[in-house]
Structure 1
Amino acid sequence: MNHDRYDDAYIADILKTTKTIALLGASPNPDRPSNGVMRFLLSKGYTVIPVNPGQAGKEILGQTVYAKLSDIPQPVDMVDVFRAPEFLDGIVAEAAALPQPPQVIWGQLGVRDDDAAAKAEAAGIKVVMNRCPAIEYPRLVA
């Protein structure tokens, strides 16, 4: 898939069918973008599970934080990535290895790795990169 642009229908379908989101790089700091996006997604009714090894066992916005994807005790529909692009390949590998892999890996603004995306798509996982669900949701769903 070409990740230079996405069909609005592709993004809207992901946002409408996703229920549970693992948010990698979640921050307890309300000034961080990951915290604001997490707050927004929670307000729209999504179940958002924060993932941050430095915060594991604590809570962010009332949600228990896990150290890594494989620690989450339930399947997730989407992995929302607030990590640098060089980590995307490892995240794809970790997500694809889960007993029930996510349907979508979503790289936040500035997060793009076409090789990692190709690996995810080869594993049957949809990919969105360099986009923010908190921007796309009001534009396409609300």
Structure 2
Amino acid sequence: MAFSNPSREEIKRILESAGTIAVVGLSDNPERTSHMVSEAMQAKGYRIVPVNPNAETILGEKSYPSLSDIPFPVDIVNVFRRSELTPPIAEEAAAIGAKVLWLQLGVVSEEAAAIAEQAGLLAIMDRCIKVEDSILLPQGKSRS
């Protein structure tokens, strides 16, 4: 069966319940899309965890060389990497117990989605998390 993204209602629920987003491929260059998207998500109240082996800190947060180096739970793994590099990232996201594998706009991998789903993660691909958050939670996340 072909992959399909969760419904908009499901994506809204995911965003409302998420607190920590590990961003694989987060650049320390403010001109890069990964930096701009992550900065916007951080401003909306999400904790952004950079995954970049070449930086010590990004957006004021400690950067980790890989997902498995993060010493606390992660809700969403947001991926800014080329599509062909995502299957091992999906495996690592599953291994750390993430709830969602989110492949950014333009990133598509049926294999990564299948790996994530077989491990019990929700998979989203070819969608921008910032755009979805802006559309679905324009007032920001509700605080309970």
TM-score in terms of structure 1 length: 0.92
State the Cα deviation string for residues 90-134 of structure 1 (Å, max 9, x = none): 001112222xx1000000011111122112111100000000111
1:117 maps to 113
Q: CA deviation at 1:138?
A: 1.1
Query: Which runs of no fewer than 5 residues in structure 1 stay unpaired?
Result: none
1:134 maps to 130
1:93 maps to 91
Aligned CA-pair RMSD: 1.3
CA distance in 2, matches of 1:2, 1:104: 18
1:53 and 1:7, CA in 2 relative to 1: closer, same or farther beyond 3 A?
Answer: same
CA distance in 2, matches of 1:78, 1:119: 15
CA distance in 2, matches of 1:78, 1:25: 14
User: Do residues 53 (structure 1) and 53 (structure 2) align?
Assistant: yes
Asked if 1 retains the 8 angstrom alpha-carbon contact of 2:5 and 2:124, the reply is no
State the Cα deviation string for residues 10-43 of structure 1 (Å, max 9, x = none): 1111111111010000111111000001101110
1:4 and 1:96, CA in 2 relative to 1: closer, same or farther beyond 3 A?
Answer: closer
Query: Which runs of no fewer than 5 residues in structure 2 stay unpaired?
Result: 139-144
Asked if 2 retains the 8 angstrom alpha-carbon contact of 1:3 and 1:129, the reply is no
Q: CA deviation at 1:53?
A: 1.1
- Counting matched residue pairs gives 138
TM-score in terms of structure 2 length: 0.91
Q: CA deviation at 1:49?
A: 0.3
1:3 and 1:40, CA in 2 relative to 1: closer, same or farther beyond 3 A?
Answer: farther
CA distance in 2, matches of 1:85, 1:120: 14
User: Do residues 79 (structure 1) and 77 (structure 2) align?
Assistant: yes
